[in-house]
Structure 1
Amino acid sequence: MLDLGCGPGTITVDLAAAVAPGHVLGLDRQASQLRGARALARQRGLTNVRFRQGSCYDIPLDDGSVDRVFSHALMEHLAHPAQALAEIRRVLRPGGKVGLCSPDWGGFLLSPPCDDAVSAYTRLQQANGGDPFAGHKLGEYLLEAGFEQCHLDARYERHADPARIVSYLAVHLEAAGQTAHARRLRDWATSPSAMFAQAWVTAIAVRPH
């Protein structure tokens, strides 16, 4: 199994525990993320998982070498999702399955409203080549890449601590010099009535024989 864009490995290690004795590879382009992932696997005592640095556009695996590919919160950051899906299709065996999960910013529930700052982050992600509205497009992406038997589902996730997601957004806004919007978000998160909920879409499809 391949976990593409595995980040710090928190999902990867759970996948490894679930599929043991099958093997799991976590792939991410950031070496700093992988150091924490390896430490987490050691802490969990897992021997069937490994982590490797690499790009979703050039997966370092042979053709048809994995049974399953999973990717969480990656597609919305990609400028070229079709290229990544072509690589996923290449490394999957015929009949293998891919599972994707991405948010869709068309389904936000924010209380109290903070639309100006959130819109600023949306524009920033788009300017960086990402698509905050990728969630509802996952099925379309998969079919265009040649996958079959596509199934979509959606859910809402409410962040128990709005300050955590707001901190992530604010850091990126600050890095882009948009300190006023970052400050607006941080102030918003201190409201006792602050609620941040977003829609997530999951898509599962099969590589045809």
Structure 2
Amino acid sequence: MGEHTTRYTHGHEQPTLASHATRTAASSAAYLLPLLSPGMQVLDVGCGPGTITLDLAALVAPGRVIGIDRVEAPLVAARAAAAQRGDTVTEFRTGDVLALPYDDDSFDVVHAHQVLQHLRDPVAALREMARVCRPGGWVAARDADYAAMSWHPELPGLEDWRRVYRAAALANGAQPDAARHLRAWAAAAGLDDARLSASVWTYADDDACRWWGSSQADRVSGDVFASQAAEQGLDAADVERLADAWLTWGTAPDAWFTIVHGELLARP
């Protein structure tokens, strides 16, 4: 892997892709939507299974929209989602945010959702995003903050899960608490005219909590998390205990989970 590249802490197993495929532009990029207009050219960096990308494409049609990801696996799901929607225009390609294969000033919007937190050098990524963004356009990024997540009931297993995930991400060279760093990263990237905001995802009804708990339990039980947990000293029984904690939380009658996100809008 390159100097700025990290191991992707989440991996691309099916439970992760399925969870990411529930994301929409409305739920994940509301801060950006008022700035979009038909005909815009958009690059969606780290597009994953493409649900946000395709929503953006619908909003800027007939503009050109390209989604890129570092590996092919999520792009297969993205192309299938496009076919299901009847979208034959939006493109999905492999690409690296640290070396975008586009000329300077190519796009009106360069967007990244939950990407900067996984990079060794998010500042370099923002510089590259700004390079391919036209003057007067927008660089947009939204990232979570794991340390700021809150939940009820306060099960010890979930606190252990957070500790293990954050340690694994940091060991990978990533920054799991990215939201609070966005202002500093933008300044370091030379994006002086930055707008910063925050928003949350909240799971607080029976169906949503059951889904989120089950989804997270599946991800914890997967090989990607288990292998990184082993590097943090956990064994199979420990991992099973963390997965069980997620299932227990998801079926609690008063369950609540909030994920805080930072949002960045900047003109290059």
TM-score by length of 1: 0.92
The one-letter code sitting in structure 2 at the alignment partner of 1:174 is A
1:50 aligns with 2:102: no
Structure 1 residue 166: Cα displacement = 3.9
Contact 1:22 1:48 in 2 (8 A): no
Structure 1 residue 170: Cα displacement = 4.4
Q: Which moved more, 1:32-41 or 1:150-159?
A: 150-159
Picking from 174, 197, 203, the partner of 2:226 is: 174
Structure 1 residue 169: Cα displacement = 4.1
Q: Specify whether residues 158 and 185 from structure 1 end up closer, same or farther in structure 2 by C-alpha distance, changes over 3 A only.
A: farther
Give the ranges of 4+ consecutive aligned residues of structure 1 lying more than 6 Å apart after TM superposition. none
Counterpart mapping for 1:64-75 below 5 A: 64-75=105-116
Structure 1 residue 36: Cα displacement = 1.2
Counterpart mapping for 1:101-112 below 5 A: 101-112=142-153
The one-letter code sitting in structure 1 at the alignment partner of 2:112 is S
Structure 1: 5+ residue stretches without partners: none
Contact 2:104 2:132 in 1 (8 A): yes
Greater share of strand residues, 1 or 2? 1
1:12 aligns with 2:69: no
Secondary structure of 1:168 counterpart: helix
* In 1: Cα distance, 2:63 partner to 2:197 partner: 27
Partner of 1:25: 66
Structure 1 residue 180: Cα displacement = 3.9
Q: Which moved more, 1:16-25 or 1:169-178?
A: 169-178
Partner of 2:162: 118
* In 2: Cα distance, 1:101 partner to 1:76 partner: 9
1:196 aligns with 2:257: yes
1:37 aligns with 2:78: yes
Structure 1 residue 39: Cα displacement = 1.4
Contact 2:141 2:264 in 1 (8 A): yes
RMSD, matched Cα: 1.6
* In 1: Cα distance, 2:216 partner to 2:113 partner: 16
* In 1: Cα distance, 2:65 partner to 2:133 partner: 13
* In 1: Cα distance, 2:237 partner to 2:183 partner: 36
The one-letter code sitting in structure 2 at the alignment partner of 1:205 is A
The one-letter code sitting in structure 1 at the alignment partner of 2:219 is Y
Partner of 1:151: 195
Structure 2: 5+ residue stretches without partners: 1-41
Structure 1 residue 47: Cα displacement = 3.1
Partner of 2:214: 163
1:132 aligns with 2:176: yes
The one-letter code sitting in structure 2 at the alignment partner of 1:182 is V
Question: After superposition, what is the alpha-carbon deviation per residue over 1:64-115, rounded to whole angstroms, capped at 9, x for unaligned?
Answer: 1111011001111111111111111111111210110100112111223221
Structure 1 residue 167: Cα displacement = 2.9
Contact 2:216 2:246 in 1 (8 A): no
Question: After superposition, what is the alpha-carbon deviation per residue over 1:131-164, rounded to whole angstroms, capped at 9, x for unaligned?
Answer: 1111111122112211132111112212422221
Partner of 1:206: 267
Greater share of helix residues, 1 or 2? 2
Q: Give identity over the alignment, percent.
A: 37
Contact 1:117 1:184 in 2 (8 A): no
Report how many aligned residue pairs link the two structures. 207
Question: After superposition, what is the alpha-carbon deviation per residue over 1:13-68, rounded to whole angstroms, capped at 9, x for unaligned?
Answer: 10101100001000101101111111111211123310110111111111111110
Q: Specify whether residues 170 and 81 from structure 1 end up closer, same or farther in structure 2 by C-alpha distance, changes over 3 A only.
A: farther
TM-score by length of 2: 0.73
